[in-house]
Protein backbone atom coordinates (compact mmCIF):
# COMPACT_ATOMS: atom_id res chain seq x y z
CA UNK A 1 0.00 0.00 0.00
CA UNK A 2 1.05 3.60 -0.58
CA UNK A 3 -0.02 6.39 1.72
CA UNK A 4 -0.09 9.91 0.30
CA UNK A 5 0.77 11.93 3.35
CA UNK A 6 2.17 15.17 4.73
CA UNK A 7 4.01 14.99 8.00
CA UNK A 8 1.92 17.66 9.74
CA UNK A 9 -1.44 16.69 8.28
CA UNK A 10 -3.64 15.55 11.16
CA UNK A 11 -5.87 13.56 8.80
CA UNK A 12 -2.87 11.67 7.38
CA UNK A 13 -1.49 11.23 10.92
CA UNK A 14 -4.73 9.36 11.84
CA UNK A 15 -4.19 6.91 9.00
CA UNK A 16 -0.50 6.42 9.85
CA UNK A 17 -1.47 5.52 13.43
CA UNK A 18 -4.13 3.05 12.25
CA UNK A 19 -1.78 1.39 9.72
CA UNK A 20 0.83 0.98 12.47
CA UNK A 21 -1.69 -0.35 15.00
CA UNK A 22 -2.81 -2.94 12.47
CA UNK A 23 0.81 -3.83 11.66
CA UNK A 24 0.41 -3.05 7.96
CA UNK A 25 3.48 -2.33 5.83
CA UNK A 26 3.15 0.73 3.61
CA UNK A 27 5.30 3.14 1.70
CA UNK A 28 4.88 6.85 2.07
CA UNK A 29 4.43 9.26 -0.82
CA UNK A 30 4.97 12.80 0.47
CA UNK A 31 2.59 15.54 -0.72
CA UNK A 32 3.98 18.90 0.34
CA UNK A 33 0.95 20.98 1.34
CA UNK A 34 2.94 24.17 1.84
CA UNK A 35 4.17 23.92 -1.77
CA UNK A 36 0.56 23.32 -2.90
CA UNK A 37 1.31 19.82 -4.24
CA UNK A 38 -2.19 18.69 -3.15
CA UNK A 39 -3.57 20.89 -5.96
CA UNK A 40 -1.14 19.61 -8.61
CA UNK A 41 -2.37 17.66 -11.62
CA UNK A 42 -0.44 14.55 -10.55
CA UNK A 43 -2.05 14.49 -7.11
CA UNK A 44 -5.56 15.40 -8.34
CA UNK A 45 -5.28 12.38 -10.62
CA UNK A 46 -4.84 10.30 -7.46
CA UNK A 47 -7.34 12.16 -5.27
CA UNK A 48 -9.67 14.70 -6.92
CA UNK A 49 -10.53 16.12 -3.45
CA UNK A 50 -7.00 17.64 -3.44
CA UNK A 51 -6.59 16.76 0.23
CA UNK A 52 -4.36 14.26 2.02
CA UNK A 53 -4.53 11.46 2.93
CA UNK A 54 -5.14 9.01 0.13
CA UNK A 55 -4.34 5.32 0.36
CA UNK A 56 -3.47 3.42 -2.81
CA UNK A 57 -3.99 -0.31 -2.53
CA UNK A 58 -1.79 -2.88 -4.26
CA UNK A 59 -4.40 -3.30 -7.04
CA UNK A 60 -4.31 0.46 -7.74
CA UNK A 61 -7.63 1.34 -6.06
CA UNK A 62 -7.47 4.63 -4.20
CA UNK A 63 -9.24 5.30 -0.92
CA UNK A 64 -9.74 8.86 0.28
CA UNK A 65 -11.21 10.59 3.35
CA UNK A 66 -9.49 9.49 6.55
CA UNK A 67 -12.67 8.19 8.20
CA UNK A 68 -13.55 6.06 5.18
CA UNK A 69 -9.96 4.79 5.08
CA UNK A 70 -9.97 3.94 8.79
CA UNK A 71 -13.27 2.11 8.54
CA UNK A 72 -12.00 0.14 5.54
CA UNK A 73 -8.82 -0.77 7.45
CA UNK A 74 -10.86 -1.83 10.48
CA UNK A 75 -13.23 -3.92 8.39
CA UNK A 76 -10.42 -5.51 6.37
CA UNK A 77 -7.81 -6.08 9.08
CA UNK A 78 -10.01 -7.25 11.91
CA UNK A 79 -7.36 -7.93 14.55
CA UNK A 80 -7.17 -5.18 17.14
CA UNK A 81 -10.55 -3.61 16.28
CA UNK A 82 -10.75 0.17 16.51
CA UNK A 83 -14.53 0.17 17.08
CA UNK A 84 -15.91 -1.59 20.18
CA UNK A 85 -18.31 -4.50 19.74
CA UNK A 86 -20.88 -3.01 22.12
CA UNK A 87 -23.22 -0.68 20.14
CA UNK A 88 -23.39 1.95 22.90
CA UNK A 89 -19.60 2.14 23.22
CA UNK A 90 -19.32 2.09 19.43
CA UNK A 91 -21.65 5.06 19.22
CA UNK A 92 -19.58 6.93 21.83
CA UNK A 93 -16.41 6.32 19.84
CA UNK A 94 -18.09 7.48 16.62
CA UNK A 95 -19.42 10.61 18.33
CA UNK A 96 -15.89 11.60 19.34
CA UNK A 97 -14.53 10.77 15.91
CA UNK A 98 -17.20 12.96 14.33
CA UNK A 99 -16.70 15.76 16.81
CA UNK A 100 -13.05 15.98 15.78
CA UNK A 101 -13.40 15.11 12.09
CA UNK A 102 -16.50 17.22 11.36
CA UNK A 103 -16.77 19.92 14.04
CA UNK A 104 -13.15 20.82 14.86
CA UNK A 105 -10.72 19.88 12.09
CA UNK A 106 -12.47 21.39 9.02
CA UNK A 107 -12.51 24.85 10.62
CA UNK A 108 -8.75 24.77 11.05
CA UNK A 109 -7.66 23.18 7.84
CA UNK A 110 -4.85 24.82 5.86
CA UNK A 111 -7.07 26.05 3.03
CA UNK A 112 -9.51 27.64 5.51
CA UNK A 113 -6.70 29.43 7.36
CA UNK A 114 -5.17 30.53 4.04
CA UNK A 115 -8.57 31.89 2.95
CA UNK A 116 -8.84 33.92 6.16
CA UNK A 117 -5.47 35.63 5.72
CA UNK A 118 -5.68 35.69 1.91
CA UNK A 119 -9.03 36.57 0.32
CA UNK A 120 -10.58 37.85 3.58
CA UNK A 121 -7.50 39.86 4.60
CA UNK A 122 -7.38 38.83 8.28
CA UNK A 123 -4.16 39.35 10.23
CA UNK A 124 -2.02 36.49 11.57
CA UNK A 125 -3.25 37.43 15.05
CA UNK A 126 -6.93 37.18 13.98
CA UNK A 127 -6.19 33.83 12.34
CA UNK A 128 -4.70 32.58 15.60
CA UNK A 129 -7.78 33.76 17.50
CA UNK A 130 -10.02 31.91 15.03
CA UNK A 131 -7.95 28.74 15.45
CA UNK A 132 -7.98 28.93 19.25
CA UNK A 133 -11.70 29.70 19.37
CA UNK A 134 -12.78 26.59 17.47
CA UNK A 135 -10.26 24.28 19.12
CA UNK A 136 -11.24 25.45 22.60
CA UNK A 137 -14.95 25.13 21.91
CA UNK A 138 -14.38 21.56 20.72
CA UNK A 139 -11.94 20.58 23.47
CA UNK A 140 -14.19 22.03 26.23
CA UNK A 141 -16.87 19.58 25.10
CA UNK A 142 -14.45 16.69 24.57
CA UNK A 143 -12.91 17.10 28.02
CA UNK A 144 -16.40 16.55 29.53
CA UNK A 145 -17.19 13.69 27.18
CA UNK A 146 -14.06 11.66 27.89
CA UNK A 147 -15.22 8.89 30.14
CA UNK A 148 -12.77 8.61 33.03
CA UNK A 149 -10.42 5.87 32.00
CA UNK A 150 -7.10 5.13 30.40
CA UNK A 151 -8.27 6.03 26.89
CA UNK A 152 -10.88 8.29 25.26
CA UNK A 153 -13.66 5.75 25.76
CA UNK A 154 -12.92 3.63 28.80
CA UNK A 155 -10.02 1.24 29.16
CA UNK A 156 -9.54 0.19 25.54
CA UNK A 157 -7.78 2.02 22.76
CA UNK A 158 -10.21 2.95 19.99
CA UNK A 159 -10.68 5.06 16.89
CA UNK A 160 -11.45 8.02 19.18
CA UNK A 161 -7.81 7.99 20.35
CA UNK A 162 -6.58 7.79 16.77
CA UNK A 163 -8.41 11.10 16.12
CA UNK A 164 -7.64 12.76 19.45
CA UNK A 165 -3.85 12.49 19.38
CA UNK A 166 -3.26 14.29 16.03
CA UNK A 167 -5.72 17.03 17.00
CA UNK A 168 -3.90 17.64 20.30
CA UNK A 169 -0.56 17.66 18.48
CA UNK A 170 -1.98 20.36 16.20
CA UNK A 171 -3.36 22.40 19.12
CA UNK A 172 0.04 22.33 20.83
CA UNK A 173 1.65 23.48 17.59
CA UNK A 174 -0.66 26.50 17.59
CA UNK A 175 0.07 27.25 21.28
CA UNK A 176 -3.38 26.38 22.64
CA UNK A 177 -3.07 26.33 26.46
CA UNK A 178 -3.79 22.70 27.30
CA UNK A 179 -3.76 22.98 31.12
CA UNK A 180 -7.57 23.28 31.03
CA UNK A 181 -7.79 19.78 29.54
CA UNK A 182 -6.20 17.33 32.01
CA UNK A 183 -8.16 14.27 30.83
CA UNK A 184 -7.39 14.96 27.17
CA UNK A 185 -3.71 15.40 28.00
CA UNK A 186 -3.61 12.25 30.08
CA UNK A 187 -4.99 10.18 27.18
CA UNK A 188 -2.64 11.98 24.76
CA UNK A 189 0.41 11.09 26.88
CA UNK A 190 -0.67 7.48 27.35
CA UNK A 191 -1.22 6.95 23.62
CA UNK A 192 2.12 8.52 22.81
CA UNK A 193 3.84 5.80 24.82
CA UNK A 194 2.66 3.24 22.25
CA UNK A 195 5.01 2.43 19.40
CA UNK A 196 2.28 2.79 16.73
CA UNK A 197 1.73 6.40 17.80
CA UNK A 198 5.45 7.17 18.13
CA UNK A 199 6.17 5.88 14.61
CA UNK A 200 3.27 7.92 13.19
CA UNK A 201 4.31 11.16 14.90
CA UNK A 202 5.19 14.08 12.56
CA UNK A 203 8.69 14.24 14.10
CA UNK A 204 9.35 10.73 12.78
CA UNK A 205 8.22 11.21 9.18
CA UNK A 206 10.67 11.05 6.33
CA UNK A 207 9.12 14.16 4.70
CA UNK A 208 9.68 16.26 7.85
CA UNK A 209 12.50 18.60 6.82
CA UNK A 210 13.92 18.41 10.37
CA UNK A 211 14.45 14.65 10.11
> Which positions lie near ligand GSH, rule CB under 6 A?
9-11, 33, 38, 51-53, 65-67, 101, 109-111
Q: Which is nearer to ligand GSH, 34 or 180 (CB)?
A: 34
Q: Residue 52 Cβ, how far from ligand GSH at the closest point, in Å?
A: 4
Q: Which is nearer to ligand GSH, 102 or 150 (CB)?
A: 102
Q: Residue 109 Cβ, how far from ligand GSH at the closest point, in Å?
A: 4
* Other beta carbons within 10 Å of 116: 17
Q: Residue 89 Cβ, how far from ligand GSH at the closest point, in Å?
A: 22
Q: Residue 152 Cβ, how far from ligand GSH at the closest point, in Å?
A: 18
Q: Is 105 helix (H, G, I), strand (E, B) or coil?
A: helix
Distances (CA, A) of 60 to 2, 74, 75, 130: 9, 19, 19, 39
Q: Residue 155 Cβ, how far from ligand GSH at the closest point, in Å?
A: 27
Q: Which residue is nearest to ligand GSH, using beta carbons?
A: 111
Q: Which is nearer to ligand GSH, 154 or 165 (CB)?
A: 165
How many Å apart are CA 143 and CA 182, to the nearest integer? 8
Q: Which is nearer to ligand GSH, 131 or 154 (CB)?
A: 131
- At a CB cut-off of 8 Å and minimum separation 6, what does 37 contact? 31, 43
What's the residue count for the chain? 211
Q: Is 19 helix (H, G, I), strand (E, B) or coil?
A: helix
Q: Which is nearer to ligand GSH, 113 or 157 (CB)?
A: 113
**Ramachandran sector of residue 177 (left: φ over 0; alpha: ψ -120 to 50; beta: rest):** beta
Amino acid sequence: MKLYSYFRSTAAYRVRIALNLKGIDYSLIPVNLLKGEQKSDWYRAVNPFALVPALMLDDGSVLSQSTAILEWLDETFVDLPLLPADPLQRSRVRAMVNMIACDIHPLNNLRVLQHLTGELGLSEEAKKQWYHHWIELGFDALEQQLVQGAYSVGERLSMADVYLVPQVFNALRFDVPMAAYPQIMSVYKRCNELDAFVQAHPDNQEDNPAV
